[in-house]
Amino acid sequence: MDYSKPETVSLDDLRERIISTDLVPSRSVLMEEIDTVFDKLKQQGLQTWLDLQKAIKNPKKIEDFAKKSGIDFEYLVLLRREIEGYLPKLFNLNVIDWVPQEVIKKLLNDGITSSDQLYSKYSDLQSRILFADKTGIDREMMGYLANLASLCRVQWVSPTAGRMLIEAGYETCQKVTTADGNELFEAMNRVNKQGNYFKGTIGLRDIKRLIVAAQYTL
Domain-located, residue 1 = no
Percentage, residues of the chain above pLDDT 90: 91
- Report the domain count for the chain: 2
Same-domain check for residues 11 and 54: yes
Angle at CA 47, nearest 5°, toward 51 and 4? 60
Q: State the sign of the Cα–Cα–Cα–Cα dihedral 71, 73, 75, 80.
A: positive
Over residues 134-159, the mean pLDDT reads 95
Residue 201 confidence class, pLDDT cut points 50, 70, 90: confident
Same-domain check for residues 115 and 62: no
Helix, strand, coil percent values for the chain (each to nearest 5): 65, 0, 30
Over residues 145-169, the mean pLDDT reads 95
Residue-range definition of the domain harbouring residue 174: 93-217
Residue 89 confidence class, pLDDT cut points 50, 70, 90: confident
Same-domain check for residues 78 and 132: no
Of 32, 51, 84, which residue sits at a domain end?
Answer: 84
Q: Cα 80 to chain center, whole Å? A: 15
Same-domain check for residues 77 and 111: no
Angle at CA 43, nearest 5°, toward 71 and 57? 55
Average pLDDT of every residue of the chain: 94
| CA–CA dist 213, 205 (Å, integer) | 12
Domain-located, residue 160 = yes
Say if pTM beats, i.e. exceeds, 0.85: yes
Residue 1 is predicted with a pLDDT of 65
pLDDT tens-digit series, residues 170-197? 999 999 999 999 999 999 999 999 999 9
Same-domain check for residues 103 and 193: yes
